[in-house]
Each structure stands twice: as C-alpha cells, then as structure tokens.
Amino acid sequence: VNWRQTALATYTTKTVPAAAVEAAARPLSPLPGLSSLFLYKRWYRCHVDLTSFLPPSGAPTVDRVPAADMSPADFFNQYDKPSIPVLLGGLMHSWPGESR
C-alpha cells in the first residue's frame, strides 16, 4: 500500500477501486537517457494519469462554515478538540483589500 492508496481509502468506506490500486502500484517509468531525478519528476508530473488520484463521486468532503457565526470557543469545541477538518469562510470581508 502506498500514499495514493491510503489517500483514496480515506475518502470512502468501501475498498479502493481496482483501477486506482493498479495505477498506484506501477513503478515510475524509466526514460532512456534521462538520469536526473529532478527532470524526471517534472516530466512525470506533466504526464501522470490523474484519474487514479480523484476521490470517488459522492465521497465526503470537508465542511465549509461561515466564521462570523462562530465564537472561538465554539470552534474549539466543535472542530479543534475532536480534530475535525473544516474550511472557515468569510474571514476576509472586513479587510480593506476585499472592497477595492
């Protein structure tokens, strides 16, 4: 099991799709004449099939919560203490750059 399989497994309670397991298990493809790991990684990122990285449709997502409706104590009790990820929205509305 590698990091891609682990990441995919966290998005679903079902098993990881076979196509994702197969894609994740493939070793990096060697390129004749390319001995630089730096250049190979750049090439790989441009040519890797990203369909195996996508979570299944209907997978749970991180909650988006308007921060204006929440006190620091509420945030701590609801999200920080139980270690639940959350995206806080509306934090920049009072910034001067937001209205320009």
| DSSP state string for the chain | --HHHHHHHHT-SSPPPHHHHHHHHSPPPP-TT---HHHHHHHHHHH--GGGGSPPTT----EEEEGGG--HHHHIIIIITTT--EEEE-SSTTSGGGG-
- Taking residues 7-13, report their average pLDDT: 63
pLDDT of res. 98: 74
What pLDDT band is residue 49 in, cutting at 50, 70 and 90? confident
- Mean per-residue pLDDT for 60-66? 87
pTM of the predicted structure, to 2 decimals? 0.42
Among the listed ranges 24-28, 32-36, 49-53, 73-77, which one has the minimum average pLDDT value?
24-28
- Answer with the residue of higher pLDDT: 1 or 23: 23
